[in-house]
Structure 1
């Protein structure tokens, strides 16, 4: 019956690794640089594991890792403390603020998809682990390239509450006057993005190409054989399936197919 049809009212996108910055290279680069200043060399896999969280929480999660904690103690002569978390965060935030504008290139298919969503009357929001100060710099440049969500919510706008909690997504819903999370799709490129959507009661979509989980830059992707690409995509899909992602898409244009299916 008509009243039982699902109607998608809004899509909430993550920012880096989903709409712009193929592979989330900006935060990966700056996390590595920040910890290296303290003598701790991080692997890309370690950096990526908590990706999607508010950045101070991300730093804390990195320091909790057994190997990282051991190296920190060896290099610094003591176990890490909350003062260390704050110092690392300040270094990270300042560095990322300086370089984030260099990582605003849209991921393939995103601009076209956003334009189509607007034509369809679907509201567009975004949540991110970046701060509002960073996003103020980025939004203008992103808008010039065709990426202009109606609202962008950052952790500091919701009292510092980060993913996997759904507070930022709920703030998007409130800002755009959307009442039911069941009419919302959350699109992201990390497990934290998916948990944010699931904890809100929204439909979740994980992105393969350009994602943080896939963990490579566009230049690195271009060097892979077709077999290597498929192997990486299969592993990325498994990561999404681990957390119960509703849909997994290869690229952003496939989101339109998901919406068509949900609206049938």
Structure 2
């Protein structure tokens, strides 16, 4: 029978950067800088969870954005255009990601809970390694140090929504059974990643991209407001197949205890 061996955590919107604002604001800035093209923050959030080049490509293929792009430039967005936006995105993101590296409340407490139980902590992100190197150092200064990190582009087979980054963590951590792993993410592609890897999955509804709340907005929200945002944010996570959905990483231990009980009953993901 499998036992709970590891959690694989996402980064922005899951452990750092409440509301996942670092990538979204930089996408808006990169589109404007590279091509003078106006992209809204809400539009930038659409494909969140994908690798960043793939994210830009997905934005360019979104019907409303594609129509505006063709109207402005007279042709669909090409892969060369995506390359140009990505080139603008990278230095901006490297320069500013540390500004959004504050830990989501509950991260250190949950990490301590996992350590006490001998549960390994892997992680992966849609950020490329150049960005992750900056973010890893900034998070370490705040006390968060996972056992392993996989960045987008480091696995030859590809990144989300495929299973490869999550499975690379399994290999690096020496996990005996993927059914003893839990993928934790605030985006639908990250939940798809975990399901395709054969893992349990936990979606985070209020700290990440699906809700888009800042930490002050989250803290100020009353129960009714949180319930409305939670319902809206949970739709994509549930559709992606999340086994459990909780508000933030602070509630992750509760979800893991539920998964442990299901494992004890002989269930598998």
Aligned twin of 1:167: 164
Structure 1 gap ranges (5+): none
Residue aligned with 2:231, SS: helix
In 2, Cα distance between the equivalents of 1:110 and 1:164?
24
Distance 1:135 1:116 in 2: 25
Aligned to 1:249: 246
Following superposition, the deviation at residue 189 of structure 1 comes to 0.2
1:19 and 2:15 correspond = yes
Deviations along 1:51-90, whole A, 9 cap, x unmatched? 0000000000000011111211222233221110100011
Q: CA RMSD in A?
A: 1.5
Tell me the distance in 2 between the aligned counterparts of 1:239 and 1:29.
Answer: 21
Deviation, structure 1 residue 223: 5.2
Q: Tell me what 1:83 maps to.
A: 80
Q: Which residue of 2 aligns with 1:28?
A: 24
Q: Distance in 1 between matches of 2:241 and 2:135?
A: 31
Superimposed CA distance per residue, residues 145-180 of structure 1 (whole angstroms, 9 cap, x where no aligned partner):
121001000122112711000110111010010131
- TM-score, length-scaled by structure 1: 0.93
Query: Which residue of structure 2 lines up, in the alignment, with residue 261 of structure 1?
Result: 258
Deviation at 1:199, TM superposition (A): 0.4
Could you report, residue by residue, the CA deviation over 1:9-34 in whole angstroms, capped at 9, with x for unpaired residues?
00000000000000110001000111
Q: TM-score, normalised by structure 2?
A: 0.92
| 1:194 is aligned to 2:211 | no
Counterpart CA distance in 1 for 2:217 and 2:208 is 13
1:96 and 2:58 are equivalent in the alignment: no
- Which deviates the most, 162-171 or 237-246? 237-246
Residues paired across the two proteins, number:
260
Q: Does 1:231 align with 2:228?
A: yes
Change in 2 beyond 3 A, CA 1:76/1:219 = farther
- Do residues 50 (structure 1) and 47 (structure 2) align? yes
Query: For the Cα contact (< 8 Å) 1:44–1:215, is it kept in 2?
Result: no
Cα deviation for residue 256 of structure 1 reads 1.2
Structure 1 residue 229, shift from structure 2 partner: 2.1
TM superposition shift of 1:230: 1.4
Point out the more displaced range, 168-177 or 252-261: 252-261
Question: 1:7·1:262 contact (CA, 8 Å) conserved in 2?
Answer: no
- Partner Cα distance (2:175, 2:213) in 1: 35
> Is the contact between residue 32 and residue 42 of structure 1 (CA under 8 Å) also seen in structure 2?
yes
| Aligned residue in 1 for 2:175 | 178
Given the alignment, which residue of 196, 202, 216 partners 2:213? 216
> 1:237, CA displacement in angstroms?
1.8
> CA contact under 8 A between 1:39 and 1:75: conserved in structure 2?
no
Which SS does the other structure have where 2:92 is aligned?
helix
CA contact (8 A) 2:166 2:193 kept: yes
2:3 alignment partner in structure 1: 7
Choose 123-132 or 63-72, whichever is displaced more. Answer: 63-72
